[in-house]
């Protein structure tokens, strides 16, 4: 039996599911975007597979990424999370996740949404499909602009590289490779503005 082509993840069931069913499909709700931005920040310097395997732990630790709840976390909560082995115990990233919840709540209080902010940086002209992962950029002008806008809005730990990884993961760009059968599914979902369930 021939193994189907994947851009990444073949041989790791969690990673395969993430590639086939989630990565690149459009995400258009604030809670899911907050989760993805948070996980991308925690992933910095680590394997994405590590983050996937701890995802349930992250969801428990951060109230299923309910920004209204996480925004009320204080110093005691940060100390509690630093003892939680089910997540990545990094003080700066934990504090950034709390700060980002507060930034998201502040956006809402101004009548804005993270979804609208995030998707406003979708490239006007989509890039063509790359043949190999090595050809994908680490940053783009749009990811640099998104990172700057997020910083102005009070978000932390979301530089241009992390912003671009989130854009890829959330379907703002379709970076599935040319030979990947999932690429066409993602493109259809992007055209219909469909959102993959969490």
Structure tokens at 174: 């379709």
Q: Is the pLDDT of residue 198 over 70?
A: no
Instruction: Write down the catalytic residue from 22, 35, 40, 142.
Output: 40
CB neighbours (10 Å) of residue 38? 26
The total number of structural domains that make up the chain: 1
Evaluate whether residue 197 is within a structural domain. Answer: no
CATH number at residue 75: 1.10.340.30
Evaluate whether residue 60 is within a structural domain. Answer: yes
Alpha-carbon distance of 4 to 167, in angstroms, equals 25
- Predicted local distance difference test score (pLDDT) of residue 197: 47
Average pLDDT, the chain: 94
Measured CA to CA in angstroms, residue 60 lies from 21, 44, 83 at distances of 22, 20, 14
Q: Is the pLDDT of residue 127 over 90?
A: no
Evaluate whether residue 67 is within a structural domain. Answer: yes
Evaluate whether residue 94 is within a structural domain. Answer: yes
Evaluate whether residue 8 is within a structural domain. Answer: no
- Predicted local distance difference test score (pLDDT) of residue 106: 98
Evaluate whether residue 159 is within a structural domain. Answer: yes
Segments forming the whole domain that contains residue 50: 13-192
Instruction: Write down the catalytic residue from 48, 73, 119, 164.
Output: 48
Give the global pTM. 0.93
Evaluate whether residue 157 is within a structural domain. Answer: yes
Active-site residue, 164 included? no
Active-site residue, 187 included? no
User: What are the pLDDT digits (tens) for 102-123?
Assistant: 999 999 999 999 999 999 999 9
Active-site residue, 40 included? yes
Evaluate whether residue 198 is within a structural domain. Answer: no
Instruction: Write down the catalytic residue from 15, 18, 34, 164.
Output: 18
Confidence of residue 188 (pLDDT cuts 50, 70, 90): very high
Entry field: residues in the chain: 198
């Amino acid at each position: 039996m021939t193994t189907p082509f994947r851009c990444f993840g073949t041989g790791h069931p969690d990673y395969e599911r993430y590639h086939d069913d989630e990565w690149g499909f459009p995400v258009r709700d604030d809670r899911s975007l907050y989760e993805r931005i948070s996980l991308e920040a925690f992933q910095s310097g680590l394997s994405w597979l590590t983050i996937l395997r701890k995802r349930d732990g992250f969801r428990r630790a951060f109230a299923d990424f309910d920004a209204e709840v996480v925004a009320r976390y204080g110093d005691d909560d940060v100390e509690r999370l630093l003892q939680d082995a089910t997540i990545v115990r990094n003080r700066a990233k934990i504090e950034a996740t709390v700060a980002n919840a507060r930034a998201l709540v502040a956006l809402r209080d101004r009548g804005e949404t993270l979804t609208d902010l995030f998707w406003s940086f979708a490239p006007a002209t989509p890039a063509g499909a790359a043949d190999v992962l090595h050809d994908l950029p680490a940053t783009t002008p749009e990811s640099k602009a998104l990172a700057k806008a997020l910083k102005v809005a009070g978000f932390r730990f979301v530089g241009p590289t992390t912003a671009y990884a989130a854009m890829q993961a959330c379907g703002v760009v379709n970076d599935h490779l040319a030979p990947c059968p999932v690429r066409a599914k993602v493109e259809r979902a992007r055209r219909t503005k469909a959102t993959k369930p969490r």
